[in-house]
Amino acid sequence: MFNANGNFDLLKNNYLFQTIEEKVVKYQNENPDADIIKLGIGDVTRPLPKAVQKAMHEAVDDMGYDDTFEGYPPNTGYVFLKEAIFKNEYEPLGINLDLDEIFISDGAKSDTANFTDLFGGGNIIALTDPVYPVYFDSNVFAGNAGKISPDGEFSKIRLLPCLSENNFLPQLPYRKVDIIYLCSPNNPTGIAMTYDELKIWVKYALKHNSIILFDAAYERYITCDNIPHSIYEIEGSKQCAIEFRSFSKTAGFTGVRCAYSIVPKALRVHIREGGVMSLNKMWNRRHATKFNGVSYIIQKGALACYSDEGKKQIMENISYYLNNAAAIREYFESMEYEIYGGINSPYVWLKTPEEMSSWHFFDYLLSEFQIVGTPGEGFGKCGEGFFRLTGFGTHEKTQEAIKRLKKQNIGT
Ligand code: PLP
């Protein structure tokens, strides 16, 4: 008899955004004339930068001729893209990397989830609460989460509460943890860690032989000087940290798919059986076995993000989303909501009014204003009572949403 992976049974039935979509579809069916504005899911609305579009067209042409045709791409990415990433993303920060420390992939979502392939048994995993759900679910799938208690807590996952009194930043765990997921600028809270805040975690990881999985998918949204763009700006981090980056929110690649991870060769981990292993070699091996690389056309598109035109067009799009986030933030501030994020991030995180539960606030916004956001509870227990809105909508829809809220005078 086929025996399925029972770990799937330990998870909530639906991925958060599936549940939201189902609710929205139901509402739309019941109210066919409703003009619903989606400020919930983290998908972009601006089209690809023209420089990227042009480069991809040219790459399609390359594929049609004998002398420029490309078959399987290199598993870990073309050198042309790795060089551009190094020269544009890391060298200016004073970070040195070998090209074989850069791994091109089809998404930071898959990278963060697939990295669980490299974990042995018995690790204690620290996740922030609220958290980007992929870190949690992928560890449960992989059987890394341990036993589940009647109240739904996993024995090998330590949740680090991120609360308003700590500006939604995780505090160091009391008991030792082996794997630490950090996301900065953060999804969902929009909060970014400063140099000093990140240093504390690097110091902790070095002291306890832990590793940090640092998700910097929103790095390009950083506007303040005291926020590191890469964890490798922190001394010692190459011995303990992996970094994930993506072209999705930077260059509108959510539908194109291209990202990369940095796995330093200096990061060497002990295995329980004795001996030392290089995570760089392991990730390389995993890529070679399970991944046949990102297509030439897509990698040429990603390369164009680093042309002068591409850079300019990307920054225009980032400003566009940040302006939307600022407008959302300003409106709720003017209504005296407790509000976070939206400065170094496209995400605005707000406290729901009158102790409303976050799903109740979701229903309220949908039914009264036809606006869709994301209930904080969907990102973890500590997200209860909070709500995420994003600057990823179009400028017109974002303004229209604010107009509707102003007109009916949303409560505080
Ligand atoms: N990491 C975080 C924190 C995200 O919020 C997202 C997307 O919403 C991703 C990764 C996914 O990135 P990609 O589109 O490269 O898979």
Nearest CA to 23 among 349, 411, 374, 384?
A: 374
Kindly give the distance from the C-alpha atom of residue 110 to the centroid of ligand 1, in angstroms, as a whole number.
9
List phi, psi (to 5°) of 239. Answer: -85, -10
What's the CA gap between 221 and 142, in Å, rounded? 32
Nearest CA to 408 among 359, 357, 374, 371?
A: 371
Q: What is the pLDDT of residues 280-301, one digit of tens each?
A: 999 999 999 999 999 999 999 9
Kindly give the distance from the C-alpha atom of residue 92 to the centroid of ligand 1, in angstroms, as a whole number.
24
Pocket probe for ligand 1: among 45, 131, 137, 248, the residue whose CB has the most ligand atoms within 8 Å is 248
Q: Is 285 helix (H, G, I), strand (E, B) or coil?
A: helix
Ligand 1 closest atom vs CA 109? 16
Kindly give the distance from the C-alpha atom of residue 156 to the centroid of ligand 1, in angstroms, as a whole number.
24
Contacts of 83 (CB under 8 A, 6+ apart): 99
**For the residues of 292-333, what is the DSSP string, one character each?**
----HHHHHHHHHTTSHHHHHHHHHHHHHHHHHHHHHHHHHH
What's the CA gap between 313 and 251, in Å, rounded? 9
Q: What is the pLDDT of residues 230-264, one digit of tens each?
A: 999 999 999 999 999 999 999 999 999 999 999 99
pLDDT at position 91, please? 98
Confidence check: pLDDT of 358 > 80 = yes
Ligand 1 closest atom vs CA 42? 8
pLDDT at position 13, please? 66
pLDDT at position 47, please? 97
Contacts of 137 (CB under 8 A, 6+ apart): 11, 15, 113
What is this structure's pTM?
A: 0.96
Pocket probe for ligand 1: among 246, 253, 260, the residue whose CB has the most ligand atoms within 8 Å is 246
Confidence check: pLDDT of 368 > 70 = yes
Kindly give the distance from the C-alpha atom of residue 109 to the centroid of ligand 1, in angstroms, as a whole number.
5
Give Cα 406 distance to the centre of its chain: 31
Per-residue pLDDT, averaged over 157-170, amounts to: 96
pLDDT band for 109, please (50, 70, 90 cuts).
Answer: very high
Mean pLDDT of the chain: 95
Using CB distances shorter than 6 Å, the residues near ligand 1 are 42, 107-109, 132, 183, 187, 215, 217, 246, 248, 254, 259
pLDDT at position 410, please? 66
Is the separation of the CB atoms in 184 and 198 below 8 Å?
yes
Q: What is the pLDDT of residues 202-231, one digit of tens each?
A: 999 999 999 999 999 999 999 999 999 999
pLDDT at position 53, please? 98
pLDDT band for 18, please (50, 70, 90 cuts).
Answer: confident
Pocket probe for ligand 1: among 132, 257, 258, 347, the residue whose CB has the most ligand atoms within 8 Å is 132
Q: What is the pLDDT of residues 42-58, one digit of tens each?
A: 899 999 999 999 999 99
Kindly give the distance from the C-alpha atom of residue 388 to the centroid of ligand 1, in angstroms, as a whole number.
15
pLDDT at position 271, please? 75
pLDDT at position 132, please? 95
Confidence check: pLDDT of 412 > 60 = no
Kindly give the distance from the C-alpha atom of residue 189 to the centroid of ligand 1, in angstroms, as a whole number.
14
Percent of the chain's residues with pLDDT above 90: 89
Q: Write the Ramachandran bin of 2: left for phi over 0, alpha for psi from -120 to 50, otherwise beta.
A: beta
**Could you tell me how many helices (H) and strands (E) the chain has, helices first?**
12, 15
Confidence check: pLDDT of 302 > 60 = yes
Name the residue with the closest Cα to ligand 1, atom 3. 187
List the alpha helices (DSSP H) in 209-307. Answer: 248-251, 279-290, 296-304
Q: What is the pLDDT of residues 178-199, one digit of tens each?
A: 999 999 999 999 999 999 999 9
Name the residue with the closest Cα to ligand 1, atom 12. 108
Confidence check: pLDDT of 10 > 90 = no
Nearest CA to 379 among 62, 164, 133?
A: 133
